[in-house]
Amino acid sequence: MAKKALSKAMEKGGAPSAMANPASSSAMAKSALSDREENIALNYAGKTTPAVLWKTFDNPALKGKIQCQLCAHYCLIKPGEVGKCLVRRNDAGKLVTLNWGKTEGLAIDPIEKKPFFHFKPGTKILSFGAPACNFRCLNCQNWQLSQYAREVGTATEWPNTTPTQIAEQAASHKVDGIAYTYSEPTIFFEYARDTVLACRKRKETARLFHLFVSNGYFTKEMLDFVVKEKLLAAIRIDLKFIEEEPYFRITGGHLKPVQDSIRRVWELRQNIHMEVINLMIPGENDSDEQITKLCEFVKSVSPDIPLHFSRFFPDYKMKDKAPTDIKRLLAAREIAKKIGMKYAYIGNTVLPDVENTYCPKCNELLIERDRYVILQNKLRKPCCPKCGEKINVVV
Ligand code: SF4
């Protein structure tokens, strides 16, 4: 089952594609699916790892509690309990993380697969994720990983890979960078950070770039930490809906923190490149009005942000819906262009020409792609070779 699920997800372009973890789904198949959000006393084997970004309180009413400041849930966690992600626990007044070193899906990918279209086009990356997530998206295509703790209540059998071993893999495969992906990297922040630091220690991997493929539900505190330690070169943020109601109903998160993250990361654009993606789910976010609203928001931050519309395929608890109508995806791209977004793409399809980059001024074809393969790239610097227009790309 694990193999089948992973290869199915791979066809859709976003899931682990190699060296998949055998623990992924066999235990889940036996477990009753559940939506429960209450704290589960997770029985993780092995050591816990000290967490970053949390605080305690002097106020007697909050005595013993910890506030986690890693993601926008800002969980208040009682002693012995875990936060909403189920992998950060209050251990006698100290916050620890439970998924450090638990690796899934180590794979070599083209950067276009994430998708990043305007950051180092044509480069090769090592991708991996870790179990758990701060969202519980009903449509998650990587639910075997992201919802593992929620569904099973344990991840004891998950194999460990140390940051040093990941750096070794990166060196032996001669990749250009590492993508923290498949599940929400914010939730394995300490593991990701230690991997960046392990790479920096080795001569062959010291100059690798590091990318988060994120739901954008991280805090200003986390972003400040990233900036302070210069951890990331790029973040791709998933803006799932432009209305609060479906955001909360389908993901368990809220719209505003994601919008705040998009604004904040754009402010850091000299150091951190950003792209935004929207998965179009039939009947949930694919009306002209919703697409217009979403594009207007992104444009209000900047029309230079690369915007990807991605095709939905039924999965997890949204198997009753059909895949996104191709006409709606094409309409979304047209709306984005009409509103003034300079770079709008369609992903997860085999449509021709919807993944190419054109100069927004003279319409010169700049990068020609066929899914994840670059057929030609005329950009040697971040401007159009024909008319000189500045292009938001890191070459
Ligand atoms: S990472 Fe988010 S969900 Fe997890 S404990 Fe911290 S605030 Fe809660």
**Domain architecture of the chain: domains with CATH:** 17-98 (no CATH), 104-377 (3.20.20.70)
Kindly report the three-state secondary structure assignment for every residue of 53-110: CEEECCCHHHCCCEEECCECCCCEECCCCECCCCCEEEECCEEEECCCCECEEEEEEE
Nearest CA to ligand 1 atom 7: 74
Amino acid present at 145? L
> Does residue 71 have its Cβ closer than 6 Å to ligand 1?
yes
Q: For residues 306 and 298, is the Cβ–Cβ distance under 8 A?
A: no
Compute, in angstroms, the gap from residue 147 CA to the centroid of ligand 1. Answer: 14
User: Going by CA atoms, what residue is nearest to atom 6 of ligand 1?
Assistant: 68
Q: List the chain pLDDT tens, one digit each, 395 residues.
A: 233 333 333 333 344 443 333 233 333 333 332 333 333 334 444 568 899 999 999 999 999 999 999 999 999 999 999 999 999 999 999 999 988 988 888 999 999 999 999 999 999 999 999 999 999 999 999 998 999 878 877 655 677 889 999 999 999 999 999 999 999 999 999 999 999 999 999 999 999 999 999 999 999 999 999 999 999 999 999 999 999 999 999 999 999 999 999 999 999 999 999 999 999 999 999 999 999 999 999 999 999 999 999 999 999 999 999 999 999 999 999 999 999 999 999 999 999 999 999 999 999 999 999 989 999 999 999 999 999 999 999 99
- pLDDT tens for each residue of 258-291: 999 999 999 999 999 999 999 999 999 999 999 9
Mutate to test the pocket of ligand 1, among 38, 48, 49, 187 (most ligand atoms within 8 A of CB): 187
CB burial readout 357-369, b (16+ within 10 A) else e: bbbbeeeeebbbb
Instruction: State the pTM of this model.
Output: 0.90
Q: Is 66 in the pocket of ligand 1 (CB under 6 A)?
A: no
The first and second tokens of residue 325, run together, are 């109508």
- What is the per-residue pLDDT across 114-153, written as a single tens digit (0 to 9) for each? 999 999 999 999 999 999 999 999 999 999 899 987 887 7
393 within ligand 1 shell (Cβ under 6 A): no
Q: Is 256 exposed, middle or buried (0-12, 13-18, 19+ CB in 10 A)?
A: exposed
Q: What tokens appear for 152 in the block?
A: 């099973």
Q: Is the CB of 89 under 6 A from ligand 1?
A: no
226 Cβ closer than 6 Å to some ligand 1 atom: no
Q: What is the DSSP letter of 45?
A: -
Q: Give the number of the atom of ligand 1 that is nearest the alpha carbon of residue 187.
A: 1
Ligand 1 centre from 314 Cα, in Å?
A: 27
Residue 351 tokens, joined: 């449509």
The percentage of residues in the chain with a pLDDT greater than 70, rounded to a whole number, is: 87
> Residue 198: CB within 6 Å of ligand 1?
no
